[in-house]
Structure 1
Amino acid sequence: MTLHSIAGAAFRALTARKDGPSLYDVCDPLLLKYAGGDPHLGKFYRTALGNPALRPLLRRTGLSELRDEPKLRALRAALRQARDDETPDWAAIGAPVAELLDTIELNHPRPRAAPPPARAPDLARIDGAIRSCGEHLLKSFGRNGFIPTYAAFNLIGDPDLRGREMAMALTGLNSRGYKNSTLLFNLARTFIARSPARALVNPPWKGIAEPMWEPMQIRHRSAYYDAFFTEALLSFVETGLASADQAGASRRAIADMVEFCLATSREEVRAHDGAAFNVITALAPLPHPRFSKFFAQIKQDLGFGIYVPDCDTTACSFSAATQAGCTDPILDQPLLDFYAGYQVTAGANEPKVTVPLNDNIDYEGGVVTWIDNLEGERPFGNDLDPTLNLDILEVSFRNLARWKVLETPARLKTVQRIIGFQKRLAASGAFADPRSHIYYLPELYCAYFGRCYAAFIALPPAAQRAIDPDDSFDYIRGRVLAYVQTELTAHEMNAFDAALALIALGHLGAAPATFTAALHCIVGGLGEGGRHGPFKAYEWNKMKTPTRILVGGPEVTSAFVLMGLALARKAMMEARA
């Protein structure tokens, strides 16, 4: 977005003709100052929505339907109940907000078709990009003592979260603070989407993954991120392009990140049969996430005080540690025994899936996201994400012998039910629908399926047949490859999209000729990150509640580009041999 367009959008927002009560006309009398009731609702309103930065942009945006006095009274009554009731009726509270939310129009990106370039870039340019990304990751680790990732709020929200889905969240989440933030963020979405400020909050972009150009980004560290940075640095060393000093620095960084995953972020929980398990928490206690003091307080004020372990962070941390050759006894735990207690059975989705935002898919056989801590807390309720389930399969394949999966019928059945869940997703085509995914893009699902497939085909043929007797993996491979080749790489991409395409194509054994468009996109974009790194920050994963919260960063882009280019380079060199 150019400075001229930013200035124009800001001017239009500041001078818009007011056509009904604004967000602040509705909420200020109720939430700026009050005694009694839930203090968090007002604190959240003042911090997130009533702050001096946002107020000027939205103060002239009014909703014409709220000139209808009964509608305005109903909305204010709902906010009053959320503020004052000891046990609020969240379905009733959410109804007037859901009605407003359904008036806005939001769509997923629709990139234009793009003809493929005639030939791939020279190998020297690919090698140069790999070296740039590897150097960026190592310099960042050396400067910070870790490789940071960033979170950024997009207040316009997610296109898949409409009034119906907001109601699901309000009734399915467990934390009152999280319900408060979901309610108010979604109320604000209506005003933002119908304001000229929309162009500032949600400008257009090239490709699928959203660039993280919001001015306020929260730097932090998590075991989930460290696991993937570990895989990226392992990939860098394996290319042979790292210097001796860089290879040594990579190994030291890998050892530190594996330690952060398995020791610093370790948390004991109870399996459904009462057995003790050590899992990996999504966000370790302070000071380990490395928030600034300012953002640590903001996090509390916004209602994100409690984080619990999750199945995905645990799977990815175990996988990265396994690939790094770690021998920590925690890896001997057969995670499949634990995951089985979080696996959904057809017709029995409750109480496992309490926030079914993607109820367009069949959950049978899938494993839910969040793990109850020892106190039984689960602030986010629970949901079920397809990509997470690929990570569970991938770590199970890497630890097949260690966990005696083939020798233990219950563990093998757990794996096969997850595979069945994935096959139905592919057969229906739902894997390509953004609504089917809670935390990821369909394009990232394709890359992660490639990663999972690579671990599967590395197994002995007899083990492959025992796990997948009806060739489900081959079937899913065909569907994913077709999507990547005919949809993703056939349209305009940004560097992150292109990296995901290469990871999928490389792991799934596609012909090197199919890499050309993605390679040109990456090599042509090298340097776009300016002083922040070789590439810009893009959306890696996201939250849909309480609003659209993107997670990524320039280091994340470097990691994924490095892994994608390394796979492409290997395939191209093998084809030339």
Structure 2
Amino acid sequence: MTVRHVAGAVYRALTNRKDGPSLYDLCDPLLLRHHGGDAHLAKFYRTALANPALRPLLRRAGLPELRDQTRFRELQDALRRARDDESPDWAAIGRPVAALLDTVTLHHPRPGPVVSSGPAPNLADIERVIRTCGAHLLQSFRKNGFIPTFAAFNLIGDPDLHGRDFLAALTGLDARGYKNSTLLFNLARVFIARSPARDFINPPWRGVAEPMWEPVQIRHRSAYYDAFFTEALLSFAETGLATPAETEAIRRASTGMVDFCLKTSREEVFSHNGKRVSVITALAPNPHPRFNRFFAQIKQDLGFGIYVPDCDTTACSFSAATQAGSIDPILDQPLLDFYAGYQVGGGANEPLVTVPLNDNIDYEGGIVTWIDNLAGDRPYGNDLDPTLNLDVLEVSFRNCSRWRILETPQRLQTVQRVIGFQRRLVESGAFSNPRSHIYYLPELYCAYFGRCYAALAALPSAARQAIDPDDSFGYIRGRVLAYVQDTLMSAEMNVFDAALALIALGHLGADAETFTSALNCIVGHVGEGGRRGPFKAYEWNKMKTPTRIVVGGPEVTSAFVLMGLALARKAMRQRTGR
């Protein structure tokens, strides 16, 4: 996005001819200075939507259909009920907003065709970038005491969240504050998407993963991120390119991050059989997430007051600790026994998925995201994400012997049902559809499948045969490779896309000659991150509710690039016999 684009978009938003009532005409009389009812709704409105930065951009964004006083009053009545009713009828409240949402047309990125990229960079160039990325991660840890990640709000919302999806979210979420934010963010989406403000709030970009350009980014720390950064630093150490001092720094940083995962972020919950189990929460209590005071309050105001553990953070934390050689007794706890209580099966417990934003896929055998805390809270309802289920498989393969999976029929069955879920997803072709994924891109699913495939391949042949007797992983491998090579890499990529491609190709044993365009993309863009790092921040994961929240950071990009290049380097060295 250029300065010229920004200036033009802002000018058009500020000078746009107003064509009907605006968001503020609709909401100010009800929420700007109101006291009483549910105080959070008004507070959220003032904080997130009526703030001095957004108001000038949207004050002239009007909807002509709201000149119809019947429709205007219908929306105001819905907001009034959300504000004042003790037990609101959220389906009724959401219907007029859902009707407006269905007038919005958004689409996923459509990268142009790739241009010829020339010969692949040499090993020296690749190794230089690996060292640069490794040094960036270690420097960040040394400076901050952790490796930060950032969250940013894209108020245009997610292209896959239409009226029916909005209603599913509004009725399936549990916490009232989260329902409030989902209601108002999605109402605002309509005014943004149908006005010139959309070009400023959601500018075009190159490739698939969204660059994080938003001026307000919330820095924070999470066990999920620490687990990922641990894996990246271990990958750096395995290349042999780290100096002795860097190798020692990797050891210290990995130890600290694993401790943060297994100790600081540890939380006890009840399993389905009533026993207490230790799991890992994504956001530990303050001050551990390392928000500054301003954003800690913003988090509360936006409806994120309660955060509960999740199956993905737990799986990734256990995996990173296993790879780092941790001997913490928590790792002896067979997670599969716990996960079985959160596994969708035969329709009997399908109501586990209360927010079915990806109901185009078959949930059978999949494991849902959120874990009830000891108080029984589940503020986000529950959803089911395919990539999370890859992480469950990956940690299970790494701990196959420790958890006695082959010797315990119930555990083996849990694993095989998740594999069946993945195979049906890929057979249907839905794995390549962004709608099928709650928190990740299809391209990241492919990279994480590669990671999972490598963990299975590391097991003895007899174990692999027992776990996957019909070679579902072999079938999925072929489909994923075809998608990466024929779809992702046949179009224009950004650095993050290229790193995901290399991770998938490297883990899945693709020919090193297929790496060229991804390698050139990465090596050719070193320095794009300016003072913040060698590369820009891009979308790593996201949330679709209460609006589109993109998570990533310059350090995240460095970590993915490091891991992708390490795999590419290994394959290239093997090809040349080095």
The TM-score range, normalised by the shorter chain, is over 0.9
Tell me if 1:270 matches 2:270. Answer: yes
What is the SS of the residue equivalent to 1:550? strand
Could you tell me how far apart the structure 2 residues matched to 1:116 and 1:505 are? 19
Residue 404 of structure 2 corresponds to 404
Is residue 99 from structure 1 mapped to residue 99 from structure 2 by the alignment?
A: yes
Partners of 1:440 and 1:542 within 8 A in 2: yes
**1:279 aligns to what SS in structure 2?**
strand
Displacement after TM superposition at 1:142 (Å): 0.4
How far residue 9 of structure 1 moved from its aligned partner, in angstroms, is: 1.0
Alpha carbons 1:344, 1:363 under 8 Å: kept: yes
Aligned residue number for residue 387 of structure 2: 387
Report SS of the residue matched to 1:549: strand
- Which residue of 1 is the match for residue 88 of structure 2? 88
Corresponding residue SS for 1:306: coil
- Counterparts of 1:44 and 1:148, CA distance in 2: 26
The question of whether the paired residues in 2 share the 8 Å contact of 1:152 and 1:218 is answered with: yes
2:508 matched residue in structure 1: 508
Name the counterpart of 1:178: 178
Paired with 1:171 and 1:120, the residues of 2 have a C-alpha distance of 51
Give the 3-state SS of the residue equivalent to 1:351 in structure 2: helix
What are the equivalent positions in structure 2 for 1:125-524 lying under 5 Å apart? 125-524=125-524
What is the letter of the counterpart of residue 91 of structure 2? A
Render the CA deviation track for 1:390-415: whole Å, top value 9, x for unaligned. Answer: 00000000000000000000000000
Name structure 1 gaps, 5 residues minimum.
none
Q: Following TM superposition, by how much is the alpha carbon of 1:116 offset from its aligned partner in structure 2, in angstroms?
A: 4.4
Deviation of 1:347 (Å): 2.0
Stretch deviating more after TM superposition (30-39 or 219-228):
30-39
Residue in 1 that maps onto 2:9: 9
CA distance in 1, matches of 2:318, 2:117: 39
Per the normalisation by structure 2, the TM-score is 0.99
Q: Determine helix, strand or coil for the equivalent of 1:539.
A: coil
- Specify the SS of the correspondent of 2:540: strand
Displacement after TM superposition at 1:33 (Å) = 1.7
Q: Is the 8 A contact 1:346 1:363 kept in 2?
A: no
The alpha-carbon deviation at position 118 of structure 1 amounts to 3.8
| Structure 2 equivalent of residue 536 of structure 1 | 536
Q: Using the alignment, how far apart are the partners of 2:324 and 2:190 within structure 1?
A: 47
Cα distance in 1 between the residues matched to 2:83 and 2:516: 56
Summarize deviations over 1:109-166 as a string: whole Å, max 9, x none.
0111114434210111100000000000000000000000000000000000011100
Q: For 1:408 and 1:554, locate their aligned partners in 2 and report how far apart those are by CA, in whole Å.
A: 43
Tell whether the 8 Å contact from 1:116 to 1:490 is kept in structure 2 after alignment: no
Matched to 1:575, the amino acid is R
- What amino acid maps onto 1:295 in structure 2? F
Letter in 1 for 2:319: S
- Aligned equivalents of 1:321, 1:350: Cα separation in 2: 32
Q: What's the CA shift string for 1:505-529, capped at 9, x where partnerless?
A: 0000000001101000000011100
Match of 1:556 in 2: 556
Q: Does the Cα contact within 8 Å between 1:316 and 1:391 map onto a contact in 2?
A: yes
Q: Which amino acid aligns with 2:154?
A: N
Structure-1 residue corresponding to 2:43: 43
Q: Secondary structure at the match of 1:268?
A: strand
For each residue in 1:354-386, what CA deviation from the matched residue of structure 2 results, as whole angstroms up to 9, or x when unmatched?
A: 000000000000000000000000000000000
Q: Distance in 1 between matches of 2:22 and 2:104?
A: 16
CA contact (8 A) 1:477 1:508 kept: yes
Deviation string, structure 1 residues 190-239 (Cα, Å, up to 9, x no partner): 00001111111000000000000000000000000000100000000110
Q: Secondary structure of 2:103's partner?
A: coil
Q: Report how far residue 325 of structure 1 moved.
A: 0.3
Query: Secondary structure in 1 aligned to 2:412?
Result: helix
CA contact (8 A) 1:116 1:516 kept: no
Report which stretch shifted further, 184-193 or 113-122: 113-122
1:64 and 2:60 correspond: no
- Partner amino acid, structure 2, of 1:399: N
Q: Percent identical across equivalent pairs?
A: 77
Letter in 2 for 1:299: K
Deviation at 1:490, TM superposition (A): 1.0
In 1, distance between residues paired with 2:478 and 2:61? Answer: 49
Render the CA deviation track for 1:511-556: whole Å, top value 9, x for unaligned.
0001101000000011100000000000000000000000000000
Equivalents in 2 of 1:459, 1:356: separation in Å? 35
Counterpart Cα distance in 2 of 1:17 and 1:348: 54
Corresponding residue SS for 2:132: helix
Q: Please report how far the alpha carbon of residue 349 of structure 1 lies from its aligned counterpart in structure 2 after TM superposition.
A: 4.9
Q: Distance in 1 between matches of 2:24 and 2:118?
A: 55
Unpaired runs of at least 5, structure 2: none
For 1:20, the equivalent position in structure 2 comes to 20
1:320-354 Cα distance to aligned partner (Å, 9 max, x none)? 00000000000000000000000001323543000
Provide the C-alpha distance between the structure 1 equivalents of 2:116 and 2:251, rounded to a whole number of angstroms.
Answer: 38
Corresponding letter in the other structure for 1:291:
F
Identify the residue that residue 120 of structure 1 maps to in structure 2: 120
Task: Give the number of aligned pairs.
Answer: 577
Q: Give the superposition deviation at 1:318.
A: 0.1
The one-letter code of the counterpart of 1:294 is: F
**Structure 1 segments (4+ residues) deviating >6 Å:** none
TM-score normalised over the length of structure 1: 0.99
Distance in 1, matches of 2:72 and 2:272, equals: 46
| 2:256 aligned partner, one-letter code | D
How far 1:90 moved relative to its partner? 0.3
